[in-house]
Structure 1
Amino acid sequence: MFAAYVTVTIFASLLFGSAALVYLIGHEFPKAQADMKRLPRSWVPVLGMMLAAGSLGLLGGLRVPMLGTLAASGLVLYFIGALLAHLRVGSRNLANWAGFFATAVAALAVNLAYHWA
């Protein structure tokens, strides 16, 4: 179980960390996504910081289990919010969202299974 926990946690941290980087460097994709969801562009760096915090929290959870659990839970809630933003504007293009959400759920599941079961 330890190998699965570490593998999923590191993969999720890398995925969310790279997404955070795209948001924070001012790439056009997150800006276009914010426009499509009718969110202010000023939220893009904030959303990037949330992803970065989740990524770092997952890694920190390797040493402090509660930190990893809270980070994974926060990422699941983040992507539930993203789903609501998509649905609010009628967007049905959810393939990317599904991959990110599944990764966040997997990170939470292995964290709970390894530390709290």
Structure 2
Amino acid sequence: MSTAYLIVTLLTAAWIGFSGFSLLRRAPFVAQPLTEYGVPRSWWTWLGVAKAAGAAGLLVGLAVPAIGVLAGTCLVLYFVGAVITVLRARSYKTVAFPLLYLAPVVATLAVGSAA
């Protein structure tokens, strides 16, 4: 395992974990856009848990690489879905936000595959 992979994975897991925690506690900066995008409130807990599980999976992937790859792949699908949701809501000015979460996950997978 390379130092770059370790650092990128730790930072990505922290970033995604923070996002999941913020969603679970219904932080206004997360809840307001979800309302605007039309995401049902009944989904919010599950979406927050999915983010938290993905972050944990990335960390577990440091010891069990297959888990990390699976978690990273699922997070890529999650954030591609988030981009689609934002685009369907025609909130073009905020499409960068899910991309800011997608990019580090893709980077983690890329660095991990190169290591």
**Does the CA contact (< 8 Å) of 2:87 and 2:95 recur in 1?**
no
Which residue of structure 2 aligns with residue 4 of structure 1?
A: 4
Report how many aligned residue pairs link the two structures.
114
Unaligned 5+ runs, structure 2: none
Give the distance between the partners of 1:96 and 1:64, measured in 2 at CA.
30
Give the distance between the partners of 2:35 and 2:97, measured in 1 at CA.
17
Give the distance between the partners of 2:66 and 2:23, measured in 1 at CA.
27
Superposition RMSD on alpha carbons, in Å? 1.2
% same residue:
39
Greater alpha carbon shift after TM alignment, 7-16 vs 94-103:
94-103
**Does the CA contact (< 8 Å) of 1:17 and 1:52 recur in 2?**
yes
Give the distance between the partners of 1:41 and 1:86, measured in 2 at CA.
16
TM-score by length of 1: 0.91
**Deviation at 1:27?**
1.7
Which residue of structure 2 aligns with residue 94 of structure 1?
A: 95
Unaligned 5+ runs, structure 1: none
**Deviation at 1:28?**
2.1
What whole-Å deviation, never above 9, does each CA across 1:63-87 have from its counterpart, x for those lacking one? 0000000011111111100011011
Greater alpha carbon shift after TM alignment, 31-40 vs 75-84:
31-40
Aligned with 1:42: secondary structure? helix
TM-score by length of 2: 0.93
